């Protein structure tokens, strides 16, 4: 009976999955795209002009052959997209850090790096939210 218990205690169980790789990748990519589109929309000119940094003259943003009149959007769109993107990035990096911690069982450099990126994404969300409020 003791040998059987010793043998059973030697086996290790795999950690339970909290989020799959697909969820992590989708959250990370969607967050990065949302934040980039929000930052891109933030530079949308209201009236344009020849000296505008994006080189537009009529209040449109151009991406390849696609022209979009972004001057009519409220300021909620770019700030909202940047906040949503930051929250998704924070969650994605948090998922990665948790997965690394559950696999290794201790704090490693890669787990601490993912945690730091998650905290930085959250700090960015707070900064953009404060800019939006004030």
Helix (H) or strand (E) holding 86: helix 76-104
- Contact between residue 81 and residue 89 where contact means Cβ atoms under 8 Å apart: no
Measured in degrees and rounded to the nearest 5, phi and psi for residue 47 equal -130, -5
Specify the DSSP class assigned to residue 94: H
pTM, 2 dp: 0.72
- Give the three-state DSSP class for 132: helix
**Angle CA(45)–CA(48)–CA(53) in degrees, nearest 5?**
75
- Give the three-state DSSP class for 105: coil
Residue 77 pLDDT: 87
- Give the three-state DSSP class for 31: helix
The better pLDDT of the pair 74, 119 is held by: 119
Cα separation, 31 vs 122, in Å, equals 12
- Contact between residue 59 and residue 48 where contact means Cβ atoms under 8 Å apart: yes
The better pLDDT of the pair 45, 22 is held by: 22
Summarize pLDDT for 38-51 with one digit per residue, the tens.
888 887 655 555 55
């Amino acid at each position: 009976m003791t040998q059987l218990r010793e043998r059973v205690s030697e086996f290790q169980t795999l950690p339970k999955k909290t989020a799959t790789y697909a969820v992590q990748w989708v959250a990370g990519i969607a967050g990065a795209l949302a934040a980039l589109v929000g930052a891109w929309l933030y530079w949308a000119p209201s009236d344009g002009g020849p000296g505008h940094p994006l080189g537009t003259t009529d209040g449109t943003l151009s991406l390849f052959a696609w022209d979009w009149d972004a001057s009519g959007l409220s300021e909620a769109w770019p700030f909202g997209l940047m906040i949503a993107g930051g929250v998704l990035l924070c969650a994605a990096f948090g998922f990665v850090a948790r997965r690394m911690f559950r696999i290794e069982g201790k704090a490693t450099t890669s787990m601490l790096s993912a945690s730091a990126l998650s905290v930085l994404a959250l700090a960015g969300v707070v900064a953009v939210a404060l800019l939006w409020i004030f």
